[in-house]
Amino acid sequence: MERALVNLTAATVAFSLLFLLSQSNPPTSPPPSLLLPPPHRGARPSMILPLFPSPKNPSSSFQNTRRHLLKSDSKSSNPNARMRLYDDLLLNGYYTTRLWIGTPPQRFALIVDTGSTVTYVPCATCEQCGRHQDPKFQPESSSTYQSVKCNSDCNCDKSRVQCIYERQYAEMSSSRGVLGEDILSFGNQSKLVPQRAVFGCENEETGDLYSQRADGIMGLGRGDLSVVDQLVEKGVISDSFSLCYGGMDIGGGAMVLGGISAPSNMVFTHSDPVR
């Protein structure tokens, strides 16, 4: 009993001293801590409780951050590419968007895939491609198409003339082809003008890629061949994209490549990191 009383008194003194120190410390000092001694022998280790002095105006820093975010976002001059989503997970197992390639534009229905880094469509020369929603891409019909010549930054074909790509997926499907460059158009909802980008022109596909109705894949993952990363590298969009799915039974939705401006009447919820 006497030992417990001594420990309690020590805890009270420690708390008083630390409280006084916390009042005298400048705001930049690290927060003090309270160490409670064990009340008796064999007790569990003491608990360390950090002491954080409350700010004079808790909402001031939050409001400053909010104003900074809105101000910086409103200054962004980069447009974005707004694109509709189609299909649904329940019936199709995927969501698709529409992308136009070449001059004049050739339309394709592409699966939106955040795990893939390459956008590719069946090439006119592909003899091992399935029957899909739209005709194969005709490079010779596009006045702006260019093949990507073999270089040190890509894998080359056996003759070392063109850059090639190859992708294999967990469900055992695969895609192989050559890399080409052409103008990509994002639809009439897009504020972003058509842009030149590198994509894959398929010469072979297997598994689900062969049998699916969609024409190909729009890769949104991180990588040099990703459409998003190519547009960011060119400085035409900000480094972000958004997806809004319509649900398994409803389908559809929307996708935005680039940033989205916050509405002026947007309400922010304050989150206290201390609590």
Tens digit of each residue's pLDDT (9 = 90 or more) over 167-217 = 999 989 999 999 999 999 999 989 999 999 999 999 999 999 999 999 999
- Band of residue 273 on the pLDDT scale cut at 50, 70, 90: low
Handedness of CA 257, 247, 222, 128 (dihedral sign): negative
Angstrom distance (rounded) from CA 258 to CA 240: 5
Residues 100 and 218 in one domain: yes
Query: Which amino acid is it at 173?
Result: S
Residues 109 and 207 in one domain: yes
Highest mean pLDDT among 23-37, 130-144, 238-252: 130-144
The domain boundary residue, chosen from 15, 37, 52: 52
Per the structure, the count of domains in the chain is: 2
Angstrom distance (rounded) from CA 107 to CA 99: 6
Q: What is the largest CA-CA distance in the chain?
A: 96
Mean predicted confidence (pLDDT) in 104-109: 98
Residues 3 and 116 in one domain: no
Domain residues for the domain of 2 are 1-52
Residue 57 within a domain: no
Angstrom distance (rounded) from CA 19 to CA 69: 36
Residue 136 within a domain: yes
Q: What is the pLDDT of residue 275?
A: 57
Residue 132 within a domain: yes
- Band of residue 105 on the pLDDT scale cut at 50, 70, 90: very high
Q: What is the pLDDT of residue 181?
A: 98
Residues 47 and 149 in one domain: no
Residues 47 and 121 in one domain: no
Residue 117, token pair as written in the block: 């880094």
Residues 44 and 109 in one domain: no
Q: Which residue, among 218, 251, 215, has the nearest Cα to 133 in the 3D structure? A: 215
Residue 168 within a domain: yes
pLDDT tens column, 51-63: 444 445 545 554 5
Report the CATH number at residue 218.
2.40.70.10
Q: What is the pLDDT of residue 72?
A: 43
Residue 190 within a domain: yes
pLDDT at 3 over 50: no
pLDDT tens column, 112-155: 999 999 999 999 999 999 999 999 999 999 999 999 999 999 99
Residues 156 and 213 in one domain: yes
Which residues touch 42 (CB under 8 Å, ≥6 apart)?
A: none
